[in-house]
Structure 1
Amino acid sequence: MMIRKPAATVFQAFIDPAFTTKFWFTESSGPLEAGKTITWRWEMYDVSDNIKVKEIIPNQKITIEWDAPATTVDFEFTTLTEDTTYVVIKNYGFSQTGDDLIEAIKNNTSGFTTVLDGLKAYLEFGVELNLVRDKFPHIRHK
């Protein structure tokens, strides 16, 4: 997804939970730092996940590892112009096979697309669309 903001701004939106909570999770135990484990929480679904921060290359790449299910995610930031950034999210290392793998890939692709859509709306227009918060209203806890 192309975001009409500089790479440093887009990168910071994933590093700093003060921004990330506007378009993705609702709570974080802290900013992303290489070598640290951070807990992300989605209060409305009563779900949390521990995130191991594997690598950070400022304004270029963030690599994390989820704990449940254990997969790796790369967030890659490519400067297109001074004011535009292309973000690619790669999720790999799935343990499933066959139809279960296809279902996991579909679900994760859909989820990360929703995150990017919310990021774009928030950074470009200052609008919180609540896409993640409203994605599954039938299982909402709060």
Structure 2
Amino acid sequence: MEKVVIVTQMLIRKPAKEVFEAFIDPAITTKFWFTKSSGKLEEGKTVTWEWEMYKVSNEVSVKEIIANKKIATQWGQPAVNVDYEFTAVTEDTTYVEIKNYGFDLNADELIKAVMDNTGGFTTVLDGAKAYLEHGIQLNLVGDKFPH
């Protein structure tokens, strides 16, 4: 089977170091994604992310960190890879790509995973952009499924 990689991306008008830190440090990430974390992302460490409004949590295993460039994780049930890549376009702009891969699903399940993950990670990047560029907490993740 061909390897499927789901990619979402967004330009964020902030330096790569600042955008990278927003994904490493839960004090920032909770402003646009999950509501609670057991700790900061560190290579070799496993943390728990919670979405309290949905009563859902995930164990996130950090496989690799390259400062200001990449965070490689594995999470979910079944576990898949999620890489966050940060490319400095200029001193004050960063192109963020989230790559989700390692699915072992049949055709219908894979189509659903592609749709869910593309939509979900796009929402995360939209929220990150609004928060980092303008200081606005849009509550996109919480409002995605309000029931």
For structure 1, which runs of at least 5 residues remain unmatched after alignment? none
1:20 corresponds to which of 5, 29, 32: 29
Instruction: Give the aligned CA root-mean-square deviation in angstroms.
Output: 0.6
Query: Is residue 136 of structure 2 the alignment partner of residue 135 of structure 1?
Result: no
Q: 1:7 maps to what in 2?
A: 16
d(CA) in 2 for partners of 1:126, 1:69: 35
With structure 1 as the length reference, what TM-score do the two structures score?
0.96
Q: 1:33 maps to what in 2?
A: 42
The number of aligned residues is 138
Q: 1:42 maps to what in 2?
A: 51
d(CA) in 2 for partners of 1:5, 1:111: 22
Report deviation, 1:112: 0.1
Q: Secondary structure at the match of 1:23?
A: coil
Report deviation, 1:99: 1.2
Q: Secondary structure at the match of 2:64?
A: strand
With structure 2 as the length reference, what TM-score do the two structures score?
0.93
Identity %: 69
Q: 2:6 maps to what in 1?
A: none
d(CA) in 2 for partners of 1:28, 1:37: 11
For structure 2, which runs of at least 5 residues remain unmatched after alignment? 1-9
**Alignment map for 1:1-142 (pairs within 5 Å):** 1-138=10-147
Counterpart code for 2:72: T
Q: Secondary structure at the match of 2:104?
A: coil
Over 3 Å off, 4+ runs: none
Report deviation, 1:67: 3.6
Deviates more, 1:95-104 or 1:27-36: 95-104
Q: Secondary structure at the match of 1:72?
A: strand
Write out per-residue CA displacement over residues 53-100 of structure 1, whole angstroms, 9 at most, x where no aligned residue: 000000000000004231000100000000000000000001112111
d(CA) in 2 for partners of 1:72, 1:100: 17
Which structure would you say has the larger RCO, counting Cα contacts within 8 Å and 6 or more residues apart? Answer: 2
